[in-house]
Structure 1
Amino acid sequence: MTKLKVGMISFAHGHAHSYLKSLLELPEVEIVGIADEKSSRVESVVSKHGLRYFADHQELLKTDADAVVICSENVNHAGQVIAAAEAGKHVLCEKPLGLSVAEMERMIEVCETNGVQLMTAFPCRYLAAVAKAKKAVEQGEIGEILAIKGTNRGTAPGGWFTEPGLSGGGALLDHTVHVMDLMNWFTGSKVTDVYAYCNTLFHEGLEVDDAGMIHVKFANGTIGVLDTSWSRPKSFPTWGDVTMEIIGSKGHLSIDAFAQSNMLYSDSLGKGVSMFYGDPMDFYMVKAFVHALLAGESVPITGLDGLRSTEVALAGYRSVKQGESVAIS
């Protein structure tokens, strides 16, 4: 069996644990090691799975890895993607892809120049409810999409996510990109105008925004609105949600992507807990990345997809600063 050799760079983002689990479940993958400047973040998984540890990601890039998965702080994505591409490694990068349009364009350019593929980590495309809704739209079951109302509300993640120098923004950046990618994917169009609101309403003393609403207009005339707020308290039974109400010229689609769940009520936990039993979106996304590379095919979610969703969030911050709608060229 031909195997894809994969390394991981940073466990700063919690999604790294799920991505590692997914890689370990794929027999066609060989994990060459994990790089993280903070050994404390990875020592348990390195020890548990007998993996090689690198204190410097540049050392990992000197190995015979075919690809790397990057889950570092947002501010480090660009530099690490570019370094990986220059080392001839394909890349799966955590969202948001970058912190400026210019650096994301540079990331895409360097990957293309070096003949490697760049995939943005948007696992929500692999949720069953989302995938089935996309198929219904493609089959014309609701006609032309006229408007989309979405939510990606969650609890405040804490840690480096709330440090502007590492995250590049708050809830408006963190929670715009997933559902905006779905809106881009469903409409097949590009956002041209953005009007947004953000503030710090739920967590006193936070250095970044924890509340956000973003309104968009697409080139094909579709309009959208998205609640990106970290508005869920710690006592809430889930981390958050991904929903979309899609209004078509011939019908309507209502998507609650994490509705496949049981509720657990336990005094020892102190609160009700939602236990999701739906398909593992991270596994299917990682599997799609691996299979595309092994088959010599294009990755299903590109760096350009990552740019298209992130540029909307960045335009949202400009809109807030200017107090008016802003255009995206």
Structure 2
Amino acid sequence: MESIYLREPKMKIAFAGAGYIINIHARAAKAQKDVELVAVVEKFSDKAAAFAQKFKIKNQYTTIEQMLNAGDVDALVIGTPNYLHAPQAVAALKAGIHVMVEKPMAMNAREAQKMREASEKSGAKLMVAHCWRFDEDVLWLKKQSQKLGKIIRTKGIGVHTHWGPSGWFTQKQFAGGGALADMGIHALDTARFLLGDPKPVSVYAKIGTHYGSFDVDDTGVIFVEWDNDATSYIESGWWQPHADGPEAATQLYGVDGFGQLFPTRIEVIKRKEQRIDAIDPGFKFPRREHCPQSMYDAQMNYFLDCIRKDKTPVPGALEGLMNMKVVDAAYKSSSTGKVIKIK
């Protein structure tokens, strides 16, 4: 009797944007099994053409609406300027297309909530590309952190030293915020992930622009109180003269020890034995590439697996929304000088 193997149909993926980050996502998609890169949505035709040629994509559109009218897309990866995240995601989700959107999820929590509602109503998956949750160092520390006892506080870094972005990143109407929305959110989400995704209770922040002549922030210190009684201290910045660690570097201070990312290790207090056990996983630091392609490959693999197995992605709409609530509260706190409670 002849055996018949049913092959899963290829997942047809489209990309919104044609810049740096979407190239990384396209490489990640290309590395997956049973995937077809079918479309790019980009208003600049020269950028769209170059992207399409590079990844052998046959369909080019200037708007999401054109893509939706043409059909034949299962999932959309959004890597456009922040002001386009919500309208592009909502349009796709309403059409039943699964979405992975770059961080920050949206311009603010209000937009993020609309994205969440669109996903819940249509049933299409919504994932937010908080990439550090898929990094091997981060996953190691997450697993080992149980040895540290209750975590009392964390310190996180989301800083560019001697460098900063240009273009739409530095324009509030397109980006919504500056270094906090761009870099600080990496430190914020990494801390929250390592803490087990607690809910934010309150935020106090001091945010300003000191190194550039744009209308968004390039410097920030943020304190977040969580509902598990932990407190996170986060530094965000562009063009800073120094940083205590690279992007997403995080320290955990527990009642039974200390843990950190980049360089990654833990120290466990053995009180009865009156010693401290240092555990080093042997990860190389500094890395050749601090943000390795393998991290994005793992993220894409997880997104596609959630679609195929009908699982709710984490980080998904809820995680993205929680982060946006903290970002909104931080900007409000800095402008008012007050601690902002989060509902």
Q: Structure 2 length normalisation: TM-score? A: 0.85
CA contact (8 A) 1:148 1:223 kept: yes
CA contact (8 A) 1:128 1:278 kept: no
CA contact (8 A) 1:289 1:300 kept: no
Q: How many residues align?
A: 311
1:163 and 1:312 mapped to 2: Cα distance?
21
Alpha-carbon shift at residue 201 of structure 1 (Å) = 1.5
2:195 and 2:54 mapped to 1: Cα distance?
44
2:325 and 2:63 mapped to 1: Cα distance?
30
Q: 1:125-173: CA deviations, max 9, x gaps?
A: 1111100001112xx2001110001101113111100011100111122
List alignment gaps of at least 5 residues for structure 1: 264-273
2:336 alignment counterpart: 322
Q: 1:255-274: CA deviations, max 9, x gaps?
A: 117973568xxxxxxxxxx5
1:225 and 1:294 mapped to 2: Cα distance?
38
Are positions 1:55 and 2:62 aligned together?
Answer: yes
2:66 and 2:263 mapped to 1: Cα distance?
39
Secondary structure class of the residue paired with 1:153: strand
C-alpha spacing 1:95/1:50, structure 2 compared with 1 (3 Å):
same
2:260 alignment counterpart: 254
Match of 1:34 among 40, 47, 55: 40
Are positions 1:313 and 2:327 aligned together?
Answer: yes
Match of 2:204 among 195, 216, 223: 195
Q: Which moved more, 1:246-255 or 1:295-304?
A: 295-304
Alpha-carbon shift at residue 86 of structure 1 (Å) = 1.2
Listed as ranges, the matches of 1:1-329 within 5 Å are 1-2=7-8, 3-12=10-19, 14-51=20-57, 52-62=59-69, 63-137=71-145, 140-154=146-160, 155-188=163-196, 189-203=198-212, 205-232=213-240, 240-256=246-262, 260=284, 275-276=289-290, 280-329=294-343
1:38 and 1:257 mapped to 2: Cα distance?
41
Q: 1:279-324: CA deviations, max 9, x gaps?
A: 7211110111012212222223111101111211111100011012
What one-letter code is carried by the residue in structure 2 that aligns with 1:190? K
CA contact (8 A) 1:196 1:320 kept: yes
1:311 and 1:277 mapped to 2: Cα distance?
26
Q: Structure 1 length normalisation: TM-score? A: 0.89
CA contact (8 A) 2:152 2:255 kept: yes
What one-letter code is carried by the residue in structure 2 that aligns with 1:310? M
2:291 and 2:231 mapped to 1: Cα distance?
32
What one-letter code is carried by the residue in structure 2 that aligns with 1:255? L
1:327 and 1:108 mapped to 2: Cα distance?
22
Secondary structure class of the residue paired with 1:107: helix
List alignment gaps of at least 5 residues for structure 2: 1-6, 265-282
Aligned structure 1 segments of 4 or more residues deviating by more than 6 angstroms = none
